[in-house]
Structure 1
Amino acid sequence: MTETIRHYFDAFNAGDTEAMLACLSDDVAHHVNEGEIRRGKALFADFCAHMTRCYREDLTDIVIFEAAAGLRAAAEYVVNGTYLATDEGLPVARNQTYRLPAGSFFDLDHEGRITRVTTYYNLADWMAQVAA
């Protein structure tokens, strides 16, 4: 099932939300680093639209791990980004760049669709980088 995860990250780097959505189950649970769990593709799409407005990001150095007969996966990567528009509750955006290690954890169903995405990064590190 690592091909699903690879496709998900390729779609992310291409800015192709529709291709990302195609990797997800209809009832996907999206656990973001800060905030509430979003359930379903519609809320995931809303999140992606918000992120596209506020950030331009490219993921590099992606390493994907698979477990539980392909039903669980994890990935670590580096987020290379530009802060484009001020996000509510965060510092003012001035096209600051950042480089941030991050990781994601996934559950997949037997058809290879992602049923859970959990993403972690160090928010304090990001804040320090965009404040500089």
Structure 2
Amino acid sequence: MNTIDLITRYYAAFNAADTDAMIACLAPDVAHHVNEGEVRVGTEAFAAFCTHMSRCYREQLTDIVVMATPDGSRAAAEFTVNGTYLETDEGLPEANGQTYRLPAGGFFSVKDGQITRIVTYYNLADWMAQVRA
């Protein structure tokens, strides 16, 4: 499977809320760099993060465009996050079902057909303004 197909499969699993299918795309020691947070290492930490996110947020990604280097070792994706804030996340505004729509991106390192690094970016100030409105 080429890198673009791998990243596309990862995001399809995200949209299906299928953490196991997402993890199947990852190397066991994946480094997950979340926006405004600490780096989580390993699929167990990734799964715990997904559990937390699923409790607090319901999100679907649209307008996904995936790009990769010719050798497939690095990739990037641009997309729109369409979400609902379900449960208050610690340190963030109170949740009451607010919806939001954000441009976002992901950056990846790939080795031997597995994602070894994920960096996610979105504008937190934009999200905060939307859920406070």
TM class, shorter-length: over 0.9
Structure 2 runs not aligned, ≥5 long? none
- Counterpart for residue 91 of structure 1: 93
Counterpart of 1:70 in 2: which secondary structure? coil
Structure 1 runs not aligned, ≥5 long? none
Moved more, 67-76 or 50-59: 67-76
Deviation at 1:64, TM superposition (A): 0.3
Structure 1 residues 78-126: Cα deviation after superposition (integer angstroms, max 9, x where no partner) = 00000000000000000000000000000000x2100000000000000
Query: Does residue 35 of structure 2 align to residue 33 of structure 1?
Result: yes
- Counterpart for residue 46 of structure 2: 44
Within 1, Cα distance between the matches of 2:101 and 2:51? 21
Question: What is the alpha-carbon root mean square deviation over aligned residues?
Answer: 0.6
Moved more, 59-68 or 10-19: 59-68
- Counterpart for residue 23 of structure 2: 21
* 1:1-132 correspondence runs (5 A): 1-109=3-111, 111-132=112-133
Within 1, Cα distance between the matches of 2:105 and 2:83? 15
| TM-score normalised over the length of structure 1 | 0.98
Structure 1 residues 118 and 80: CA distance shift in structure 2, 3 A: same
Which contiguous aligned blocks of 4+ residues in structure 1 show a shift greater than 4 angstroms?
none
Q: How many residues align?
A: 131
